[in-house]
Each structure stands twice: as C-alpha cells, then as structure tokens.
Structure 1
Amino acid sequence: YREFYQCDADVIGTDSLLCEAEIVLMIREVCKGLGIQDFSIKVNHRGILSGLAAIADAKGNETSLFVAIDKLDKIGDEKVKEELRTKGFSDKSIDRIFDILHFQGSNLNKLEMLNSKLEDTETGLKGVEDMKQIIELLSKFDLDAETIDFDIALARGLSYYTGTIFEVKINKVAIGSVSGGGRYDDLTGVFGLPGVSGVGFSFGVDRLYDAMEELKLFPEETDESTEVLIAHLDHETMLYGLKALKQLRREGVAAEIYPDTVKLKKQLDYANKKKIPFVIVIGSDEMKSGQLTFKNMKTGEQQQLSIEEILIQF
C-alpha cells in the first residue's frame, strides 16, 4: 500500500466537537452501506497521549513513547517495553503507563480512570473532557460500545493531529486499518491559511477493496454491469459504432464499445470473459444497410436488427 487511492471528508473552520461525532457517524454509514457489519472505530485524543507522556516523565521523548505504544496490538507488551527501555524510559515509568493501558472497562470507565490519573496535567484533562463530550454525542445516535472503541494506545498522525484521532478496523480481516483521521488545528497553514481548525478522515480505497474481497461482499453482478458490447471491424465501422453507443446510453442501456480494432474473435472472447450477454457486430454490410448483427452470447442466436429494434430488447 505504498501507492494508493483514498477518499476523504473534512469539516474546516470550526472546533465544535459535533464535527467529530459527524465524522464517526459518516464512517459508520459508509461501512454499513458497503455491507461491512463487523468493524470497530477506534478513538483517542492527542491531549490524553500528552498526559500519558507527562506522567511517564517523557519530556522531550514523547514521540518515542507514542510510536512504541501504537505498536502494542502488533508486537505485544514485552517488545513495546523493550523498545521503551532502549529509548531511556525507566521501569517505573513503563509500569505506570502499562497500568493505564491495561485498564479494563467501558469507554466511560476508562475516561473516569484517566480523569484521576491525569489530574495534574491540564492537556490530559482537556483530552478526557473532549472525549467524554464526543462519546455522549455519539450515544444520542445509538452507536453501541462495541462499535466505538476508546483505545488509549492509539497514536497516529503525530506530526499534525492536535485533538481527536480515529482509526477504523474491520474485524476478522487480516488487514490493518482501512480508515484514519483526526483533528488538526493548523494543517492549513502549510497552504497559506494559518489558524484554521479542521477535522477529517480518509478511507484507503485499496485496503477497503481488499477487505471487501476477503469478506466476499461484492455481488456477482458487479462483473456483469455491461449489457451490450459493440464490436467493429475497422476504423470506419468503429465511428459508426460510436453513434449506436450514444443512442444506447441515452436510453439507459449499459453499453461499451471495444477500444481497439482487432479480430472479431478477440472481441467476442472479451464479451464472454466479462459475461456481457449481448454483442452488436458492425461491419461494412451492417453500416450500409443499417441492420446490425445482434448476437445473444448465451444462446449464440443472431438477428439483423435496426438500432431502434435493438433498443426494444432492453
């Protein structure tokens, strides 16, 4: 996934936490709309991470802490602890952090725990308060606790996210996150528009496709979207075919024309491979008479029909 397509949604120009709730709702609607039922939306807050760094005495070494704990679900406790030790963290600080990371309870239970643990860190408490408000807003939209997972170890976009951070994982699929995002307070400054807050997320289209493929969520008919292929024998008949293509599409028929001038057999093989049920063959005789060869690819039956008569078939 080093080169990939993604689709994004952002809200720019407001720091209202309602926008975070809207983003989470949008993620849920996209997943449900694609037929993905078993997924989790992980959420955390950069302020909470900063609070953890403060109680771990990580001043000047915050990034090392965040990068390490973000790997927790991939490499496990012991390797994360080992990495933290190599970065200069004491066993006491590591134990303090892991006591928090291993806390079991509901999203609200975790926030209450953090409210106590981070009471001496203003940034941490601000993060806890923001998360409480977001989870309260989401509860009004019937988002269950199984879908929203407040994950204290989640750390992403460290160089630009300043508030809430999101990550979406599809359960029972061997693929990492398919979506991520968060709040950024000054990312627009890079483009000459400083001081504008925003929040957004993006879906990795390639990852989403692979996950849906693994879950067999693509209906069989997606490979059969074209109803009729126009086959042609030379440049002149291709130009004639373009007129027929225009008429077919104008009437709502899903039609395509073969892009290259090649042997007819290759064009028919293409139609069979794509499970296109009908082919219109245009040669010089068809072009002169206006009677096009209309071939049923399933039965092999052929008829000589005008374009108007062909349209009646659909």
Structure 2
Amino acid sequence: MLTASVITMAFTPMTYRFSMEESGYEDIPVNDSLDIAKGAKLAQNTCVHCHRGDDGRLSGRLYNKTEPQFGKIYASNITQSRTQGIGNWTREELELLLRTGVKPNGKTALPFMPRFPLMSSEDMEYLIDFLQSDNFLVQPSENALPQTELSLIGTLGKWLFPKKLLMPEMPVPSPDTTSEYEYGKYLVDAVLHCFACHSGSLPRINFQNPEMTPNYLLGGSKFKNLDGQKIEAPSIVTKQNTGINDYTLDDFKTLLQYGQKPDGTYVQYPMMPYPSLTEKEIAVIYIYLNTYKP
C-alpha cells in the first residue's frame, strides 16, 4: 500500500502499455459476500499494485526499483501468514496501521506507506474484511523478504516526512454519494490519494488535511519512469494550463481505466490505470477536478 506505486508495464520508448495481468489489475475473484467484494475493490486500488509478489499473492516485493538512491525498500508481506505476514494481527491493529502508520510493535511504517485517516469507517471495515478473507491474494505466503535498507538519502527522507497520525475519535462518516463534488473529493483525497503524487512536495504530504499539501493537485513532484528518466507529475486541476485541461469525460475515463491519453500515448510510471473504477466514480472524480478552485 505505497504511494508511488510499483506496476509492471510492457513498454516502447516514451510510450507505455499496461498489462493488466502482470500489474495485478485483473478482476479479483471474491466469494458471495458483498462486503468482501467491496473490500477487494478497495484493495485493488490501494494495495495490490505495491504488495503483489511473484507468487501472485500480496506477499510483498522490492518497491523502489526506479529510485535506488533511497536504498532497498520492500513492500511488506500482507498475506495471512502468521510468521511472515499479518495473520496474527487483530482488526484493531490493522485499522491502526492503515489510518496512522503505527504497527502493533509501536514502530511507524515508512512514509512510502500511505495512511488513510479520511477513509470512512464503513470502507475501512470492507478493506479489513478482505484482508482477513478466504481470497487467494491474502492466503498465507511464507515469502520472507529481506530487511529494508535505507541509504543516507532514504533515511533523511524518512525524517522529513510527516510523523504518525492520530486515530479518529469518532467513526468516520461515509461520503454523501448524492453530492458529485463531495463524493469525488472523497475518492481523490481519502481513497485514491491523487494529491500524494499530483502536488508539489512529497515530504509535506498531508494525509489528514490533503488541501494543506503544497500545490495541492497542481503537480510538481518529481519521479523517475521505467527508463530512469526524470518526469514531473502534472497538474490535474482542469482550470490550469496543464494536466487534464482539455479532457472530455470520455477522455478521462480512458485515461483512468486504460492509462491512455487523448493523443494515443500512455501515461508513465508511477501512474497506473484504475480499471475497477465505475463510470459513476470516474464521473464524480472528473467533476471534482473540474470544479475545485485552488
């Protein structure tokens, strides 16, 4: 569940095509429980692209292949293994980690692991239901990952990032899905964390109050694509001169679901497609990005 997400793509120079099977974005089979199905979808958009290992389960893998200057950082095994994964964790411990970054041993997860303090209590329950379900992705894997080794730069970055958050004192309400603006804002800020990449400062990401993140949704954060070339996250606020300013709703749908831009080229890593998003979800995100005024 890491912010700058790792995804496998087959690519030609400067143009990237996504393999849904390789990237972990094929449909996740679930049982008849609607709650687990909802949790599976949340996991597909927040966990799978970083934690899916070579065995096809959420058994972890090397996270930062394109940014080796930070050291060797591994996305954890989050299967139900009692020795290598989260099989011994309670629901309360899982929620504590997901909301605040604090592990059962009291240590804080690295800043590459996003926090979800604004996710509704209902959605959080769905996600935890999935993590503790019979789904193949979370069945025990004894994949023992090497210890993360931060470089000097990585260690400095760790201390620059925001510290642990506090648990909410009250249940987090579900979004008003009748308000297109509010529902879109919820998906952008609380679930998909679009602001984490499409703002101006990775070390100053504000998960608790996303709009306080510098240059919220205006782009500017620097990354490396799969060729090791430096790229800059664009603005996704449509009133700006960059980003999705001229995108129609159909253009935006194709971008989010398939990673393809209106000119036929494909988005570059670390951006990934979100094929499980519904037409309504894509529409409300589009409306929010069109309506929000910096």
Scaled by the length of structure 1, the TM-score of the pair is 0.22
Scaled by the length of structure 2, the TM-score of the pair is 0.23
Larger radius of gyration: 1
Higher strand proportion (structure 1 or 2)? 1
